[in-house]
Amino acid sequence: MSGFNFNDLKKMRDKIGKALSDSEINNCLESTVKELSGRLLRSVIRNTPQGKTGSLRKGWTTLPLKRLPKGVSVDVVNDVSYAIYVEKGHRTKNHKGWVEGQFMLEKAETEVKNVMQKAVKDKINKLLKGGFK
């Protein structure tokens, strides 16, 4: 007959409960979102054409973290007036042609989406390991 000690299971449950306190979950979530927004910012800057002055690249920034009812959000924005035209494309001055967009933000989003699941999984594992020490 094999024995099973429920006290060990209760201790493990208590440790998991401590590791997953609301403040630690929120800190983990905010940390992950900030890390991913930093990756997105670096990627979009790298994807942005240099241009003559470099102002389009310099215009990228992240807004402060926003707490929402179902999570958190960080916006990556570019305040340069013509950024949307470089991103999405535009008609030429004479309205007879079209300049294709560079899609630097869309490309950056795709890059970050490819690593997002692993980054979140790593953060959760790190949070859980910290709770078992």
Q: Are 101 and 84 in contact (CB under 8 A)?
A: no
CA 45, chain centre distance (Å): 15
Considering the entire predicted model, what is its pTM? 0.78
User: pLDDT per position in the chain (133 positions), as tens?
Assistant: 233 445 665 665 666 666 567 777 788 888 889 999 999 999 999 999 998 999 999 999 999 999 888 888 899 999 999 999 999 999 999 999 999 999 999 999 999 999 988 988 888 888 777 754 4
Backbone angles phi, psi at 72, to 5 degrees: -130, 160
d(Cα 40, Cα 32) in Å, to the nearest integer? 12
pLDDT of residue 15: 66
